[in-house]
Amino acid sequence: MTPISPTLRFERSLYREGVTSIVACDEVGRGALAGPVAVGMVVIDATVKRMPAGLRDSKLLPEPVRETLEPLCRTWVLHSAVGMASAAEVDSLGIMRCLGLAGARALALLEEGGAEIRDSTLILDGNYDYLNPALMRPARVVTRIKADRDCASVSAASVIAKVHRDRLMIGHDAEYPGYGWASNKGYSSREHFDAIAELGPSALHRLTWLKDAATLAMPT
């Protein structure tokens, strides 16, 4: 089955409603056993037109294609940023609060980079606004299920966040050898579980996740 191509149709519908600036958001690393959770954000307005050829939700793209698309996505949008929350923060605060924390950090990075986003509308993939509880100043948030599949701006945020986090985990593979993070990026795999059994958890593992994840992933 050919993957659905994202478009700017939903973004254009927001422009017709009077929105002048959009911040599109997507998260990666939510289900990983190790490493941070990351939220990617991009800023677009009505001047941003034709999207990069081949753009898809990052989960639908092979790693080499994501690597090729990532710089094209960054130059296509007006601004981009990735915020993260660490494994230790996930352990202490829980994943939903950390999604908000990572998103708030991404917004701060956008503003530090000169993005004018105070009056922007934010598109969040999914059906739950995890961002506003973490913000000092309320944001205008629109949630949309499958936005990473259907909305080109959210797909771009997804690719940027995925490549950023993957590169981070590849770097940690040399720092914490044996867990296979260059290939599994901290997600569940037989190799990863075998390494945890042999080496124990590392400083980058989400300790509160390991027991339940192992129970679900390992065959009986």
Residue-wise pLDDT tens digits, 113-162: 999 999 999 999 999 999 999 999 999 999 999 999 999 999 999 999 99
For range 187-203, the mean pLDDT: 94
Contacts of 134 (CB under 8 A, 6+ apart): 97, 100, 101, 103, 104
- Cβ atoms of 214 and 193 within 8 Å: the answer is yes
Percent of the chain as helix, strand, coil, to the nearest 5: 50, 15, 35
Residue 189 and residue 31: Cα distance in Å, rounded? Answer: 12
Helix (H) or strand (E) holding 28: strand 21-28
> Which pLDDT value is given to residue 217?
43
> Which pLDDT value is given to residue 106?
98
- pLDDT 10s digits, 88-112: 999 999 999 999 999 999 999 999 9
> Which pLDDT value is given to residue 169?
97
- Give the chain's mean pLDDT: 93
How is residue 91 written in tokens?
């352990």
Q: At what angle do helices 63-76 and 152-175 cross, to 10 degrees?
A: 120
How is residue 22 written in tokens?
């959009």
More confident residue, 29 or 2: 29
Q: Is the pLDDT of residue 219 over 70?
A: no
Q: Is the pLDDT of residue 214 over 80?
A: no
Residue 72 and residue 79: Cα distance in Å, rounded? Answer: 12
For range 50-58, the mean pLDDT: 95
